[in-house]
Chains A and B, each alone.
Chain A
C-alpha cells in the first residue's frame, strides 16, 4: 500500500523482490539434513582422514568423491564469532546473538551457526557450546535453533 506524506512530495511503498528458489541436495547433503531432522549431525571423512562438518561431496584437496559419513557430537567449541547487537527481521533470533563458527566434537572443520549466549560478555573464542534442537524438525539448518553455552 502506498503511503503519502503531506510534508513532502514523495510517495513511498513497499517493494519486494523475491526469487522462490528450490534446491535439491544430492546424496551427501541429503544425509546431513535428514540427520538434522532426526537430531544428529552428520559429517564426512575427507581423503586425508579429517571429518568435515557440514559434509562436502568432494574432497577439498583431491576433488574425489567422499562417501564415509561420520556422526559427530552436538557439542563443540566456538572458533570465531561476530556479535549481532540489533537483530533484524530475517535474523534467526529476536534477541542479540552471535554468528559463530562452531567446531563440533569429532569434527575437524567449523560450521557456521548461531550462538545464543544472552550477552556479548558471555561470548569468548574457545567457549564450549551445545546444540539446542527444535521441537519440530523438518530437515533444515534451523532444526538446530542455536548453540548455547555449556560448562564442561
Chain B
C-alpha cells in the first residue's frame, strides 16, 4: 500500500465526437484520396475556395463548380513552432504555414519541409510533396509537406489580399 498522501490526480476533460463532413468537404476529401486538389468557385465573385465550403461565404448560395488546382503555391504567412505541447505529433522545431495554392483565393494550412526553418519566408514558392500513393486516405495528411520549388519569390502584391 502506498503511504504517501494523495496530492493530485489527472482529471482529463474529453469529448468524443463523430464528425460528419458535409457534401463539399466530402468531395474535397474524395479527390485528395486520389491525389487531386479540388476546390469550388463562387459563381458571383469567381473566388475559388480550397478546401471548399458548401455555400459561398459572400452570397450564401451553393457553390457547385469544381476547380482542380495545381500542387504549387505561395507561403503567405507562417509560424515556427518551438514549443512542445500535449498531443504534439511533430518533432520541433517545425513550420506551419498558410499556403495560397495557385488559382485559389484562400490559403490552406500545412507544413513546410525540405528546407531549413530559417529559410522559410513570406512569398516563398512551394509545391506539395505527397506520401506514397498506397498511403493515401481521406486526409490532407496525404501531403507530407510543401517544399520549396526554387522559383523566385512571389511579389507581396500577388498575395497581399490573402493575408
Spell out A's residues near B (CB within 8 Å).
2, 4, 9-25, 30-31, 33-34, 36-37, 89-90, 138-140
Complex contacts, A31 vs chain B, CB 8 Å = 5
Label chain B's interface by main secondary structure: mixed
B61-112 with Cβ < 8 A to chain A: 86-87
Evaluate contact between A22 and B18: CB separation under 8 angstroms: no
Quick one: which of B10, B14, B17, B26 contacts A11, CB cutoff 8 A?
B26
Cα A30 to Cα B84 in complex, Å, equals: 30
- Shortest Cβ gap from B150 to chain A (Å): 35
Cα A24 to Cα B27 in complex, Å, equals: 47
Quick one: which of B7, B86, B139 contacts A30, CB cutoff 8 A?
B7
Q: Which of A36, A37, A138 counts the most B-chain CB atoms under 10 A from its CB?
A: A37
Interface residues on B, range: 20 to 34
Evaluate contact between A14 and B17: CB separation under 8 angstroms: yes
* Extra contacts besides A19-B13, A89-B16 (18): CB < 8 Å: A2-B138, A11-B20, A11-B26, A11-B138, A13-B18, A14-B16, A14-B17, A16-B14, A16-B17, A17-B15, A18-B12, A19-B14, A21-B13, A22-B8, A22-B9, A25-B8, A30-B5, A31-B5
Does chain A have a CB within 8 A of B21? yes
Does chain A have a CB within 8 A of B23? yes
Evaluate contact between B8 and A17: CB separation under 8 angstroms: no
Evaluate contact between A11 and B6: CB separation under 8 angstroms: no
Complex contacts, B22 vs chain A, CB 8 Å = 10
